[in-house]
Structure 1
Amino acid sequence: MYSISTKHERRLLWLLALTQFTIIMDFMIMMPLGPQIMHTFGITPAAFATAVSAYSWCSGLSGLFAATYIDRFDRRKLLLIVYALFALSNLGCALASSYPLLLAARAFAGITGGVLASVIMAIVSDVIPVQRRGAATGTIMTSFSLAAIAGVPAGVMLGAHFSWAAPFMLLVVLSVLIWFGGARIVPPLAEHLSRRPPPLRQVLPDLGRLLSNPRHLKAFALTFIMMLSHMMVIPFIAPMLVLNHGVPPAHLSWIYMGGGFATFFTSRAIGRLADRYGKHRVFRIIALVSMLPVLFVTHLPDLPFIAVVLFFPFFMVAVSGRIVPMQALLTTVPEPSRRGAFLSANSAIQALGMGCGAWLGGLMLTNTASGQIAGYGTVGWVAVAIAMVGILWVGRVQAAAAKAPPNPATEFHPEPLSEA
């Protein structure tokens, strides 16, 4: 475990949160830009969905591949190199002059984003003691709130006033600024290299053992289940509001901003609750509560726009809130020496689950003769049913030290028995 000052720790966590913010914004901004991109390139909704899915699937595969090498490098150097490539991928998106070039740029963005997500969580796990990891994870999760409060609304406005490429240019500028901040704030993180990594000829067998470990498989299953449920609903909220309820695309900024503003405060509070009362317990409660706003948004009646804006914070808090204790729990599952590889693989499973969720949700939707979206209510019921499976399954996910007596000489401690 690394020893850094409290002030440095706070600066590092917020730097990582800003890095994650650009990754989340890069993924989220595609959805409200959909109509403009389809019009510009003359593509169908199915082709646009392919571009969205390409990001998630490439992110998942790159994260899985990262599990074979992430523990072989200084975390700082790996973060800075991959983040520079991430900035270049967004420049490629902004300059794409055809659909194939855009698709290639989105795939490359997914590749870099998948590795970055793994490195960020590995740094958090290396630097933050397990007793405070829930609060630290909550800080990182504020990136979702920042993306909703500032990133997506800014992107929507830039896209409306300039072109669909403008939000990606903004991401390039932000990434460059954050990169220089990271070069100053992130310390060398190579302590894990003192444990000699296995030779390359053992990498694939080791990856096989990582993926086949029963404890790991249970954690991966939870990740996939919750991301599947999550992304069946999220990508289609904006199209549903525009097509079914006549919300002007420019007004979507207010909805994302309201939801993001609420989660900015609740993510850290939920992380602290997870540390205090147990990650399993808090996850179950929030996941159960989240079912009501999911069903409401997927069966949304005709309401005044202000009512939709006021409802959306409840939806965002509930849906994003269940991810905080889950992520904190997952950092306790692997052995310390395998934490980076495990988190890389878990990031891959998360991205694959997101891609499959959006794909499955899209399969269940149709367009009516009037141009509205049909079948969203069914999507909501299926998403809730899948989330219920996650609530039942989470009890099977246990920390690496849960079966062993505490050893004060190690950096890794078992979770409280009350969480089981």
Structure 2
Amino acid sequence: MERHAELPVSERVVVLLIAAIQFINILDFMIVMPLGPDFARELDISSNHIGIIAGAYTAAAAVAGVAGSFFLDRFDRRKALAVCMFGLVIGTALAGLSWNLPTLIGARVIAGLFGGPATALSLAIVADVVPRERRGRAMSTVMTAFSLASIAGVPISLEIAHAAGWRAPFYSVAAFGVLITAASIFLLPPLKLHLKSGITPPGFGMFKMITKPLPLLAALALMAMVTSAFAVIPNIPIYLEFNLGYTGEAWITSLLGSIGIDYTPSVLGPLYLIGGIASLLVLQVVGRMTDRFGSAAVSWVGAALTVTIMYIWFINYQSALPSLFLFVFFMGAMTVRGVPARTLDTKVPLAHERAAFMSMQSAVQHSTLALAASLSSFILVENPENKSLEGMATLGWIGVVFAILLPTFITIAEIGVRRRDSRLADADANEIKAPTMAAGAPMTAPTPARAGAVVNRDRD
């Protein structure tokens, strides 16, 4: 196995920077959905059209992902990531300047054109610098960006909107994005070793990747994961407020009052705060479980949890269960599914394929998300009297079907990865053994890498 030169930065620094970048990227997308009721009121947008706003970002990200799969492997990943992040920041700021549905959709399209490739590059960097045996934990760290966006990003954004209007969160995210992008430019090392492998084909694009069995299985798994979740996610804020009559957690206001704080938080902010904390705790366990038991076993657990919450919250709503419990259950189930699926994504491509593969996955993720989010606009019907949504049970059943397909695809793919890696290991052993035996010289062990340093590997 070829071992490349070390990079002058620790794995932990790289992983934390990527997590911060993912935080901005995820928050930029996540704040749109809980602001749905504000869009419906302030911009006079129909509540069943909120999915289209989310779909605009993801459709643009899908197009950018397809284009990026042909050229992202040709550039230093650090520079490419910086360009994409600055484009994302501009699109986010423009969303705050929108005045109707078309202008808001246009701003989200700009953000998506840069946000999609930024996600692909971020995951490719993690796969480049973290050895296979530690990728489960590394990916769980990167995925804490989702929980932190829920714990801090979304609640703070909602409180900012509560105090200063719905435009303010977009400006805040854009400003924070500039700071994180600047930090990544100065702290990330040059990431060019994938260019020196000698086997990077020009234009190794998505269409070549999708013809291979393992990437195809990974793409199908991602499609199932996204569809089962985003058939319902864009509509949850409106479902809570307009269907279930959720008005917030009164006990939080009482608790603040008991300590002398006279403040009523936003309706949805505490939900995302508590749900995000729960997801963060779950992540710490799921990352280690994935490293120990494999992606397939953990994904079946996630499927069982997902089917359960889809049934009791959307298909056969149990009014006796509090909305806070149901929301936390939902976020926990999504977390359990996400870590094994993303860990598998780091194992499927070889080193020279990683950026192209991640671009393919980004395109698959965002195109599927756009379709799933837009699907709700065709299935759901708005009640003109109170803006409530009719048809959530149908979306719940769609979520159940795809939740079961996800671990099926992951199981087949994981078996394929093990078999391929075994063949590659045997081939490496034969390549080393043959010339050594012919020359009659003893084999020498490779020099161990410095502890804690980042090492790029060609095949793992």
Q: Identify whether the pair has TM-score above 0.5, normalized to the shorter chain.
A: yes
Find the aligned partners of 1:413 and 1:72 in 2 and give their Cα distance. Answer: 18
User: Which residue of structure 2 aligns with residue 301 of structure 1?
Assistant: 318
Structure with larger Rg:
2
Q: 1:159 aligns with which of 137, 142, 161?
A: 161
User: Which residue of structure 1 aligns with residue 203 of structure 2?
Assistant: 203
Kept in 2, the 8 Å contact 1:60–1:349? The answer is yes
Kept in 1, the 8 Å contact 2:380–2:391? The answer is yes
What is the SS of the residue equivalent to 1:385? helix
User: Which residue of structure 2 aligns with residue 381 of structure 1?
Assistant: 397
Is 1:270–2:286 an aligned residue pair?
yes
Alpha-carbon spacing, 1:50–1:274, altered in 2? closer, same or farther (3 Å): same
Find the aligned partners of 2:268 and 2:40 in 1 and give their Cα distance. Answer: 18
Is 1:404–2:407 an aligned residue pair?
no
Find the aligned partners of 1:169 and 1:366 in 2 and give their Cα distance. Answer: 32
User: Which residue of structure 1 aligns with residue 20 of structure 2?
Assistant: 18
Find the aligned partners of 1:244 and 1:102 in 2 and give their Cα distance. Answer: 25
Is 1:216–2:215 an aligned residue pair?
yes
Write the letter of the residue equivalent to 1:278. G
User: Which residue of structure 2 aligns with residue 63 of structure 1?
Assistant: 65
Alpha-carbon spacing, 1:262–1:2, altered in 2? closer, same or farther (3 Å): farther
Kept in 2, the 8 Å contact 1:225–1:386? The answer is yes
CA shift for structure 1 position 405? 4.5
Find the aligned partners of 2:403 and 2:51 in 1 and give their Cα distance. Answer: 23
Q: 2:129 aligns with which of 127, 130, 134?
A: 127
Kept in 2, the 8 Å contact 1:90–1:171? The answer is yes
CA shift for structure 1 position 370? 4.6
CA shift for structure 1 position 48? 4.0
Per-residue Cα deviation, 1:365-409 (whole angstroms, up to 9, x for no partner): 223465332221222122111211222222221328345142478
Write the letter of the residue equivalent to 1:293. I
Q: Name the structure, 1 or 2, with higher relative contact order (CA <8 Å, separation 6+).
A: 2
User: Which residue of structure 2 aligns with residue 110 of structure 1?
Assistant: 112
Find the aligned partners of 2:51 and 2:374 in 1 and give their Cα distance. Answer: 8
Write the letter of the residue equivalent to 1:404. R
CA shift for structure 1 position 191? 0.5
Find the aligned partners of 2:360 and 2:177 in 1 and give their Cα distance. Answer: 25
Structure 2 length-normalised TM: 0.83
Per-residue Cα deviation, 1:175-205 (whole angstroms, up to 9, x for no partner): 1121222123211110011135767xx627x
Q: What pairs with 1:269-288 in structure 2 (closer than 5 Å)?
A: 269-288=285-304
Alpha-carbon spacing, 1:48–1:376, altered in 2? closer, same or farther (3 Å): closer
CA shift for structure 1 position 47? 4.8
Find the aligned partners of 1:142 and 1:358 in 2 and give their Cα distance. Answer: 23
From the two aligned structures, give the one with the greater helix fraction: 1
User: Which residue of structure 1 aligns with residue 78 of structure 2?
Assistant: 76
Per-residue Cα deviation, 1:25-53 (whole angstroms, up to 9, x for no partner): 11111112123223333333455432221
Kept in 2, the 8 Å contact 1:258–1:310? The answer is no
Q: 1:362 aligns with which of 374, 377, 382?
A: 377
Aligned residue pair count: 408
What is the SS of the residue equivalent to 2:347? coil
Alpha-carbon spacing, 1:268–1:71, altered in 2? closer, same or farther (3 Å): farther
Structure 1 length-normalised TM: 0.90
Find the aligned partners of 2:246 and 2:110 in 1 and give their Cα distance. Answer: 33
Find the aligned partners of 1:180 and 1:334 in 2 and give their Cα distance. Answer: 29
User: Which residue of structure 2 aligns with residue 310 of structure 1?
Assistant: 325
Find the aligned partners of 1:207 and 1:251 in 2 and give their Cα distance. Answer: 42
- Supply the RMSD in Å over aligned alpha carbons: 2.3
Write the letter of the residue equivalent to 2:70. T
- How high is the sequence identity, in percent, across the aligned residues? 30
Find the aligned partners of 1:245 and 1:10 in 2 and give their Cα distance. Answer: 43
Q: Which runs of 5+ in 2 are unaligned?
A: 249-265, 433-455
Kept in 2, the 8 Å contact 1:80–1:183? The answer is yes
What is the SS of the residue equivalent to 1:3? strand
Alpha-carbon spacing, 1:326–1:156, altered in 2? closer, same or farther (3 Å): same
Dislocated runs of 4+, deviation >6 Å: none
Q: What pairs with 1:386-397 in structure 2 (closer than 5 Å)?
A: 386-397=402-413
Q: 1:171 aligns with which of 146, 149, 173?
A: 173
Find the aligned partners of 2:274 and 2:20 in 1 and give their Cα distance. Answer: 19
CA shift for structure 1 position 101? 2.7
CA shift for structure 1 position 97? 3.8
CA shift for structure 1 position 98? 4.2
Alpha-carbon spacing, 1:405–1:75, altered in 2? closer, same or farther (3 Å): closer
Q: Which runs of 5+ in 1 are unaligned?
A: 415-420
What is the SS of the residue equivalent to 1:329? helix
Find the aligned partners of 1:2 and 1:224 in 2 and give their Cα distance. Answer: 36
User: Which residue of structure 2 aligns with residue 330 of structure 1?
Assistant: 345
Write the letter of the residue equivalent to 1:308. S
